[in-house]
Amino acid sequence: MSAAWDLKLADMHCHVEWRAGQLFWQLRHPDAPGDATHLAPISDLTVDHRPVQWTRLVAAEDTPGPNAAPHLAVTVEDSSGRLRLVRHFELFAGHAFARTWGVVERIDNDEAAVPVIEDAAILHMAVDAPDTVTLLHVEQFSWPYHKDFFSQRQIPLVPNLTSHELRMGSFPAHYTAPTSCAWVALRAGRPDPSDETPGSGRGLVVGIEFNGKSRLCAWATPAQAAVDSRIDDLAHPLPPGGRFEVPAFFAGCYAGDWDEAGYATQRFAEAYVHPPMPDERYPWVQYNSWKYGQEIDEAQQLAVLERCAALGIEVAILDLGWARTIGDWRPNPAKFPRGLRPIADRAHELGMKFGVHVAIAQMAPDAPAALEHPEWLAFGGNDYYGAGAICLGHAPCREWLIDSLVRLVGEEHLDYTLPGAVALDRHDCIHVLLGRGLLGPDEAFVVGYTMGAASSSIDGELLETFKLIAKRLYPRHYRMSEADLFVFDLGYQAGARSAVRIDSLPLEQQLDVPIGTLREQAGVDVATLRALYAAERALFPGSPASARLPGVGVVDSAA
């Protein structure tokens, strides 16, 4: 059996096929070398030493994406009946770019046998190469490789020579060779003779949306030039219900020199990957304490803030040295006996934002979490100021880190959170006050309500930026769908009608207060909730979250 689908927008054409147990893809555009890429695999995984065969086509949904651009989601299952893959493809209005990503999910319930994903390809791409094709990449920062940070390298892909390997992402800080930014460009023709005489041609750009370790190989045969990107050193167990996200990448077409490749990428990235900050002053003028090294304390930094204010500084950052140790993200009591709140509060009084440096992927061997869970350390040597690397692929370690950062932001009055943000325990209380469950639409309504209650601090541009982030940049499991965003808007409407900033109420300290009394204190309008919930049930009759919404008597209950 086989199937094929085509996404078209202006001159951009993305062709997708399912056959022989694999998914394949191809791009066509007048600016692509040879007018098209070759048909290439897009779903190859290795599990328990065997390539996965996607033998069952479950569904293919063609739905409009941003600005009504085409979006295709193909769902397939493997021959063992254990794994399901959902592969997404999308095009973009006004940009000759395609983007694709995948999610693998464990669908059986056998807890005795846990499959391990040992290899996952991010990208395969090949183009005709009747003549030389040149690859451009840009090196990234490396401590021990001090020669020339962010240098551009042009590599001619010569047929039958050894492939070129580029290491990308979070290779150890002490890796002794250069690594590359997660972006490359291909162009028909030879490297530029000089900076004064740039070459020009038809080409492709590729961006790998993955900050873990990956390797991209590029080579040529007499018939084609090819690139292949794979996750490095992968060993990802999938228990029942477990998920694995195949990193996204985008590919675009351009015609011109290398500058045009960069311009095309920048225009696309600012429109869809990383929208500009909703503040015309951004990037903010920033003070960073690193000139003091780790010899910082409260009195010193309070004095510095006064000088920062006189200079017009907009953001103050405490760099390494404020915490007890790397991996114990609590203020050092010898340096900051009152915590960081006095620093944060004074920065805010002076009109500045306040933040801290956190090396989230490192932990010192004497940190409490390292002593209690030595298995969390993926590398126990000196990777970063005496600290080793932790394994963020390990769920308990990852959950500990998230909890630590949430506590840090809440307790120490750090910025970089949107108005209406609340700590998790208070957030759970708001779920109860509003009579919401724990499904996606429930979360969307509660987030909308807390932000709506803080709407005096949120302009329209900031609100739309949040919705864009929630839809496109959140981790995939937590992203809001169009339906979720509609429910978010309902919650925002309800919160905006309240005269009380619910995010500022210490609800978690009032667990013995009757819920009706708490609703009055929090400004929750039960009549408004009743009307909005009725509208949600009518609009989404098949939604489990809507079906479980409380009735009038439950919402009105004061006990």
CATH number at residue 204: 2.70.98.60
* Nearest CA-CA partner of 105 in 246, 231, 244: 244
Both 440 and 302 in one domain: the answer is no
Q: Return d(Cα 445, Cα 276) in angstroms, integer.
A: 26
Among residues 370, 390, 411, the one where a domain terminates is 411
Strands 214-220 and 201-209: unpaired
Q: Note down the domain range covering 538.
A: 424-556
Among residues 343, 376, 411, the one where a domain terminates is 411
Both 265 and 296 in one domain: the answer is no
pTM of the entire predicted model = 0.73
Whole-number average pLDDT of the chain: 87
- Does 515 fall in a domain? yes
Both 295 and 236 in one domain: the answer is no
Q: How many folded domains does the chain comprise?
A: 3
- Does 279 fall in a domain? no
Q: What local confidence, expressed as pLDDT, does residue 559 receive?
A: 34
DSSP-H helix ranges across 215-349: 258-268, 298-311, 341-349
- Does 538 fall in a domain? yes
Tokens read off for 369:
């979490």
Count other C-beta atoms under 10 Å from residue 182's C-beta: 23
Both 497 and 354 in one domain: the answer is no
Tokens 């059996």 found at: 1
Both 309 and 341 in one domain: the answer is yes
Contacts of 409 (CB under 8 A, 6+ apart): 416, 417, 421
Instruction: For helices 526-539 and 482-496, give the axis angle rounded to 10 degrees.
Output: 160
Q: Are 92 and 268 in contact (CB under 8 A)?
A: yes
Q: Return d(Cα 480, Cα 474) in angstroms, integer.
A: 8
Both 380 and 462 in one domain: the answer is no
- Does 419 fall in a domain? no
Q: How far are the Cα atoms of 252, 433, 553 from residue 547, in angstroms, in the given order?
A: 43, 18, 15
Q: What local confidence, expressed as pLDDT, does residue 476 receive?
A: 62
Q: What local confidence, expressed as pLDDT, does residue 416 receive?
A: 54
Q: Are 276 and 100 in contact (CB under 8 A)?
A: no
- Does 7 fall in a domain? yes
Both 407 and 483 in one domain: the answer is no
Both 63 and 162 in one domain: the answer is yes
- Does 278 fall in a domain? no
Q: What local confidence, expressed as pLDDT, does residue 557 receive?
A: 40
Q: What is the CATH number of the domain that holds 385?
A: 3.20.20.70
Both 235 and 87 in one domain: the answer is yes
Biggest CA-to-CA distance, the chain? 79
Which helix (H) or strand (E) covers residue 359, if one does? none
Both 485 and 442 in one domain: the answer is yes
Tokens read off for 346:
């004074």
* Nearest CA-CA partner of 161 in 228, 221, 229: 221
**3-state SS assignment for residue 337:** coil
- Does 281 fall in a domain? no
Q: What local confidence, expressed as pLDDT, does residue 254 receive?
A: 98
Q: What local confidence, expressed as pLDDT, does residue 307 receive?
A: 97
- Does 215 fall in a domain? yes
Among residues 382, 411, 440, the one where a domain terminates is 411
Q: What local confidence, expressed as pLDDT, does residue 554 receive?
A: 41
Report the phi/psi class of residue 69: left, alpha or beta, with left for phi > 0 and alpha for psi in -120 to 50.
beta
Q: Are 135 and 157 in contact (CB under 8 A)?
A: yes
Both 236 and 297 in one domain: the answer is no
Within a 13 Å sphere around the CA of 422, how many CA atoms are in the beta-carbon half? 26
Q: What local confidence, expressed as pLDDT, does residue 394 receive?
A: 83
Both 528 and 464 in one domain: the answer is yes
Q: Are 316 and 347 in contact (CB under 8 A)?
A: yes
Which residues does the chain have with pLDDT short of 50?
417-418, 552-559
